[in-house]
Structure 1
Amino acid sequence: MEASTQCVVVGGGPAGIMLGLLLARAGVEVTVLEKHADFLRDFRGDTVHASTIRLLDELGLGEGFRALPQSKLGNFRLPMEGGDSVVLADFGLLKAPYNYVAMVPQWDLLNFLVEAAQQEPTFTLRMNTEATDLLKDGSGKVVGVSYRTRDPLTGDTLGTGEFRSELMVACDGRGSVLRSRAGLVPREFPVPFDTWWFRIPRDADETDPVASISPRFAGSEVLLSLTRKDYHQIAYLAAKGSDAKLRAEGVESFRDRVARLRPDLADRVDQIGSMDDLHLLDVKLNRLSRWHEPGLLLIGDAAHAMSPAGGVGINLAVQDAVAAARVIASPLLSETLDDDHLAAVQKRRWLPTVMVQTFQRVLHRVVFAQVMAGKQPNPPKPLVFAARRLPGFPKLPARMIAFGPRPEHAPDFARRKP
């Protein structure tokens, strides 16, 4: 089966859905391919920063977004020796209503954006549709993708086909198939930890708000708990390369680790039935030196995989999507898109990416590397002094985290009144 459209977006994450929504509001015929049957993946991040909240307001979606289940983070703390901490960023110092970071289950956010996008007649979302390869013409330009559809229950292949398009946009994440098929290899930066995701039931009488986050540090281990309606989504962080050792120790040993870090959940750790209930996330921090080829653009984690440190990945990907839509919408409509337009997207988003990844590398060094080595985190003394002694200092990192460098505004063609 062969089909055609003006733009194919591969990957239904925050970058892909946001780009599809924006292009559709410009009148571009856009098809988003998502390989899964739904958006319910526990490893997805939940942080929605002020830059994204402001964007949703500009799109006329702010009221609906605020009605989603969520909690608010008011500050960002760095752990220190002796169990103490210092407020590095105080979001409350920022101007309302963009003075917090929202914790929103990502599947709720994606379903909300899809609902908005489906109001546009030129938007199409195809679930259970996995891009498998790039199609090129005789000159080497990318002109489409091949795909296969799967049965959502069995995973069996139901069919195959091709999509032809003026532009393919890879939003298929840190393990991007399109990036691999294009032969693009990112530069890797060292990461001191990996993450194991699992669930533990939540008691009906617990009072933590839905989507709140609870971090615990002990020895060389970190536990982050995201509160869901009926369960806790938990991330266990340990030194990179520890997976084989953890699994060899067995589930009883792992239950003991969780109970030690979260004594309040000790009565439920037996719900971790086996080590198969743990889902490893091999944490990456990398970026491509070139985000495009003729007919192909890569954004979000496909172009620059982010560490979970600081929870900035979703928002940086969304900013990429906004910048891309602003640059490529008009050329797509006029059929004048060329590689210079794709290069312009990378040029605009390159510096913000480098700055955010540099921030994450510092966090890795001053916090996570020390914890993974069994040491107490010891942030640089000048940073601690500034955070504690200079009243206005926490506003600077707060703005950097909440909005990031070079935050993007909604293009005029995509704005709607509430």
Structure 2
Amino acid sequence: MNQVVIIGAGPTGLTLAMLLAQRGIPVALVEASRNFRRTFRGEALMPSGLEAIEQMGLTDLVAQIPHCPLDAWEFIVEQRAIFRVDEPMEPGGQPCTLISQSPFLEGVLAEASKYPNFEFVAGTAVRDLVWQDDRVVGVILSDDRQIGADLVIGTDGRNSIVRDKANLTLATAAQSYDILWFKLASSPQFEAENIFYSVLAGDAGFGLFLGSEGQLQVGWTLHQEGRESKQWQQEDWGAKLAAASPEWLAAVFQQQADAIDRPFLLSVTVGRCPSWHAPGVLLLGDAAHPMSPIRAQGINMALRDAIVAANYLVPVLQQSLTGIDAILPQIQAEREPEIIEIQRLQRAEIAQGELLRNYPPLRYLLSRVVPHIPLLQQRIRQSWIDRQLQLRRGFTQVTLKV
């Protein structure tokens, strides 16, 4: 039996480690942090991600941790509601569901830890890779320990050390924004329904929803060319958020103005590695293809990466070492088309937002004219739904076969 070392205990690394351990593959999972608590972790499971969860046998885990479905999406332009879309978007479909990612990861770790062939190394970073005859054969940890491996899998995120040490390049897409993330106390206005609000006023734009653990979460688009990109720590964010909001929402921000002072800066990196692999090394998740936060695709693509990787790796690892490097390009070949399409649609969403931001007459048309022309309003709404259905379903059939 062959040894796999996975670097990074996020959704990709942990679920893949669990799948391999369940099938008798010896796995060491290395995580630099001592726990799974982060200021920001994606929460949204789309139908494609929920399907992956079900195939992995983790549906009961999701039911046991903090979670909540979204009830609707609503768009507000220049303080006026433009249209609303209820969840689920398809008859008989699944609604987008928000989960608390930290307890989810803890639950997956508990499941993987049931198997004696699984080892978890926490609180220790990877310093380098071990090479032998131009092939990676293990890792060197920050405490100088070495772990040998027939395959090293980098699932260590957009700033992947494995990617860097394996000399695999990341082709990044041009981005003109970052995200400021705020967490606030909930408010009675959000107790009846959990609606994801997209708000645009002037050149200000943000999203707002009630997270799985009961806090309001706000993601403010921070345009890099603007003054606020350099002075965001000095902004009066209570006033700024209120000014972009309709009256009822402005009151929420005004009531919590004293608490709106420490946002988290989420630097947006989007791209794709031309090659996800080298001899003895495979990249998955954000290490191979960092995703935009637009329409919450990161965790869903991560889970689908893990399933496809398991399908290819398990038969080879159970039989012989000689076929490992030969199947790594096949994993990329199966996953890459979906990643390309998802990133294309995310760029289209960003472009539409930029168009509205840069053309005030278009914002005026949306906010003052469209709500009074039901047919036009319905066409705009349906166009948005059609794009979202592609993002929610995924572009390929991903089925756990091992």
1:239 aligns with one of 193, 203, 223 = 223
Alignment pair present for 1:135 and 2:145: no
2:145 alignment partner, SS class: strand
Indicate which of 244, 261, 266 corresponds to 2:254: 266
| 1:265 maps to amino acid | F
**Shift in alpha-carbon separation, 1:119–1:257, aligned structure 2, 3 A:** same
Residue equivalent to 1:359: 345
Task: Give the whole-Å Cα distance in 1 for the aligned partners of 2:290 and 2:327.
Answer: 22
**Aligned residue for 2:390?**
400
**Counterpart in 2 of 1:161?**
145
Which of 83, 103, 122 is residue 108 of structure 1 equivalent to? Answer: 103
2:358 paired residue number = 373
In the superposition, relative to structure 1, how do residues 163 and 400 fare at CA in structure 2: closer, same or farther (>3 Å)?
Answer: same
Cα distance between partner residues in 1 of 2:208 and 2:114:
35
- Given that 2:178 and 2:267 are in contact with CA atoms closer than 8 Å, whether structure 1 keeps it comes out as yes
- Please say if residues 50 and 403 of structure 1, whose CA atoms lie closer than 8 Å, have aligned partners that are also in contact: yes
Q: For residue 49 of structure 2, what is the aligned residue in structure 1?
A: 52
Q: What letter matches 2:52 in structure 1?
A: L
Pair 399,119 (structure 1): closer, same or farther in 2 beyond 3 Å: farther
Residues 179 and 47 of structure 1: CA distance in aligned 2, closer, same or farther (over 3 Å): same
Measured in 1, the distance between the counterparts of 2:192 and 2:11 equals 23
* Structure 1 CA distance for aligned equivalents of residues 238 and 75 of structure 2: 27
Q: Any stretches of 5+ residues in structure 1 without a counterpart?
A: 149-158, 413-418
1:282 maps to a residue whose letter is S
Instruction: Map Cα deviations across residues 350-402 of structure 1 (whole Å, 9 max, x no partner).
Output: 110111111111111112x23553745699x9xx9899359998875454222
Q: Do 2:44 and 2:98's aligned partners in 1 also have CA atoms closer than 8 Å?
A: yes
Shift of 1:281: 1.5
Matched residue of 1:9: which SS?
strand
The one-letter amino acid paired with 1:309 is: I
Give, in angstroms, the shift of residue 169 of structure 1: 0.6
Displacement of 1:279 in angstroms is: 2.4
- The equivalent position to 1:291 in structure 2, one of 249, 254, 276, is 276
With over 3 angstroms needed to count, the CA separation of the structure-2 counterparts of 1:39 and 1:160, relative to structure 1, is same
- How do 1:242-321 and structure 2 match up within 5 A? 242=226, 245-246=228-229, 248=231, 250-260=233-243, 261=245, 262-263=249-250, 264-273=252-261, 277-321=262-306
Do the aligned partners of 2:74 and 2:195 also contact (CA within 8 Å) in 1?
no
Deviates more, 1:369-378 or 1:188-197: 369-378
Alignment check: 8 A CA contact 1:90 1:398 kept: no
- Answer yes or no: is the 8 Å Cα contact 2:176–2:225 preserved in 1: no
Aligned counterpart for 1:99 among listed residues 94, 103, 117: 94
- Matched residue of 2:139: which SS? strand
Is this contact kept in 2: 1:319–1:407, CA < 8 A? Answer: no
CA distance 1:231–1:371, shift in 2 (3 Å): same
Contact 1:72–1:212 (CA under 8 A) maintained in structure 2: no
Quote the Cα distance in structure 1 between the aligned partners of 2:242 and 2:268: 24
CA distance in 2 between counterparts of 1:90 and 1:201 reads 24
* Residues 333-352 of structure 1: CA deviation (Å, up to 9, x unaligned): 22333322100100101110
The AA in structure 2 aligned to 1:287 is R
Q: State the distance in 2 between where 1:335 and 1:215 align.
A: 51
- Contact kept, 8 Å, 1:136 with 1:144, in 2: the verdict is yes
Letter in 1 for 2:55: E
Q: 1:120 to 1:69 in 2, by over 3 A?
A: same
Give the aligned residue type for 1:267: Q
| 117-126 or 76-85, which deviates more | 76-85
Question: Which consecutive unaligned segments of at least 5 residues does structure 2 have?
Answer: none
1:227 matched residue in structure 2 = 210
Q: Which residue of 2 aligns with 1:155?
A: none
C-alpha contact 1:89 1:394 (8 A) present in aligned 2: no
Are 2:18 and 1:24 aligned?
Answer: no
Secondary structure of the 1:66 match is helix
d(CA) in 2 for partners of 1:11 and 1:180? 14
What is the distance in 1 between the residues matched to 2:162 and 2:151? 13
* Partner Cα separation in structure 1 for residue 376 and residue 67 of structure 2: 31
Q: Aligned pair 1:174/2:158, yes or no?
A: yes
Supply the distance in 2 between the matched residues of 1:65 and 1:224 (Cα, whole angstroms).
24
Distance of aligned partners of 1:17 and 1:301 in 2 relative to their CA distance in 1, 3 Å threshold: same
Deviates more, 1:349-358 or 1:194-203: 194-203
- Which SS does the other structure have where 2:256 is aligned? helix
Q: Secondary structure at the match of 2:335?
A: helix
User: Relative to 1, partners in 2 of residues 1:253 and 1:75: Cα closer, same or farther, differing over 3 Å?
Assistant: closer
Q: CA deviation at 1:167?
A: 0.5
Q: Which amino acid aligns with 1:361?
A: R
Q: What CA distance in whole angstroms lies between the structure 1 residues aligned with 2:68 and 2:267?
A: 27
2:115 matched residue in structure 1 = 120
Contact 1:259-1:265 within 8 A present in 2 as well: yes
Cα 1:394–1:309, aligned 2, differ >3 Å: closer, same or farther? closer
Secondary structure, in 3 states, of the residue corresponding to 1:91? coil
Q: Distance in 1 between matches of 2:382 and 2:236?
A: 45
Given that 1:352 and 1:405 are in contact with CA atoms closer than 8 Å, whether structure 2 keeps it comes out as yes
SS at match of 1:309: coil
Contact 1:219/1:374 (<8 A) preserved: no
TM superposition shift of 1:116: 2.1
